[in-house]
A and B are shown apart, each in its own frame.
Chain A
């Protein structure tokens, strides 16, 4: 290849090459870079879309903490996250281990368990609202009646609604994370298991001392993905209960949505969404740190 490419030729080549990524880059700037900047800017203003935004400094951030709805949605989001994430990770891990055992039809199981995540949350949620949670039609109440228990109002009872959404979420998610765990399990070199067998280790011990430690990197990915998704939950509460009853299922993003599109308080909504961004970054950072440490220990 000719070594003496003149500077201007090199420059032209670089420009030509950047053209390869220009379309993607410009979309990226439009959809990610510019909006984050705008969100930050808007969070310091008061604006209802009509007219000009009014700069009010940190007022939004201060008012948040006296807003009952914000605080309630923060509570709902945190409860939801702290319950759903461990449960989802636990079940998907167990499922991956079970499916990974030497049984026939493993790929069939894997495919079938993966069908819920392939469907739209929006559509599955409506299906569940109709078939599972519906007070008269739903299967849960049919089962309860069969066992002579009183039927429940799964989505209308403030104490039950969040729990119902969590159950739905686990049903929806488990297949997805199971596949990720399966990938992790299958990438463990059999050498480790053979060595353990030679040493006479029982399967429980094998699991604790070999499988789990080797799964730590995959587990950190699953944990973080699950946490980030849970903190941002929107579709399920919107479709099942629209935040009700009595805000018992109103997550932070639902609050942001309502603040902006129902009450037209765009500045305040932006401030809440920036707070959420901070929360997500903090959770991810600490989880990453925790798993780094665990990986180091092993």
Chain B
């Protein structure tokens, strides 16, 4: 009996301690962002800033490029998410329910793309975009996410179980393929759409390598690259923390709001992988 209680206490303390380790960096950075200057010994000596100040935020958004970087991220992520939500569902519907010659082989071919490492696409994509004159444009950052196949896979799995009868009855009522899509499929897919939107949002917002390759103009950088650029600024710890807060908040908030869906997506990809 006692051994059981002891074991539970140990287990709980370990897990809670681990929670602390996982979150500590983020929580502490919030505290740092409200401090003006500090010496090394003072960083960890207390959590709540003695003289909280909004200086870092003001300087960052007004003097530095924080706002621009943030808006760039919003733009790229928004465009990519909307594109994927619509076209992945469309493709997922086609693969799940529409008879088309050769669609099985095509789908396997598409899935193979999940294995292709980005490192091999880095150079040719750069060369291609240079040829197309899309270097240093905001839209260029959103284009590789347009090609993610995971969304198609997700929507296909979600649409497959929809009973044929439902679709057939819609057809009898006079719906063509498009009608079935907009009136039946899309409304049913709301949970999957939520999942896909979280997934795409987080993936695109956090992306680093592609924007790094394609953007060198400071005004076009998303927040991740902005962070990399700004972090070399000496002694600007307060503002670096501010930028970190601004850059981490959107995906974390989105995740916490829709975590049920995001975790489902991860588990699904693991099981089917």
Contact = CB atoms under 8 A, between A and B. Distances in A.
B208 A121 contact: yes
A196 interface: no
B108 interface: no
B55 interface: no
B14 interface: yes
A28 B23 contact: no
Contacts of A142: 44
A247 to B, nearest CB: 18
Interface string A104-134: 0000011111111011111110111111100
A107 B70 CA distance: 31
A122 B206 contact: yes
A193 B30 CA distance: 45
A171 interface: yes
Most chain B CB inside 10 Å of its own CB: which residue of A25, A231, A256: A25
Contacts of A175: 22
A11 B248 CA distance: 50
A176 B262 CA distance: 11
A232 B119 contact: yes
A27 interface: yes
16 contacts: A17-B98, A32-B116, A49-B127, A101-B11, A113-B19, A115-B22, A115-B252, A115-B255, A116-B22, A123-B247, A131-B28, A180-B266, A232-B117, A260-B122, A266-B127, A277-B117
A276 B117 contact: yes
B61 interface: no
B271 A183 contact: yes
A187 B213 CA distance: 41
Contacts of A14: 100-101
Contacts of B223: 123
Interface of A: 1, 14, 16-18, 20-21, 23-25, 27-28, 30-32, 34-39, 42, 49, 95, 98-99, 101, 103, 109-116, 118-124, 126-132, 136-137, 139, 142, 171, 175-176, 179-180, 182-184, 187, 217-218, 221-222, 224-225, 228, 231-232, 234-235, 238-239, 252-253, 256-257, 260-261, 266, 269-270, 273-274, 276-277, 280-281, 284
Given A118-B255, A119-B248, A120-B208, A239 B228 contact: yes
B191 interface: no
Nearest to B125: A35
B255 A24 contact: no
Given A39-B120, A39-B124, A122 B228 contact: yes
Contact of B22 (A171, A260, A266, A276): A171
What band does the interface of chain B fall in when counting residues whose beta carbon is under 8 Å from A?
A: 35 or more
Given A21-B91, A256-B122, A126 B227 contact: yes
A178 B224 CA distance: 25
Nearest to B107: A21
Nearest to B121: A35
Contacts of B143: 27, 30-31
B40 A137 contact: yes
B154 interface: no
Given A21-B94, A31-B146, A131-B29, A103 B130 contact: no
Nearest to A257: B122
A266 B123 contact: yes
Given A114-B259, A260-B123, A98 B11 contact: yes
A127 B117 contact: no
Contacts of A25: 91, 106, 110
Nearest to B210: A31
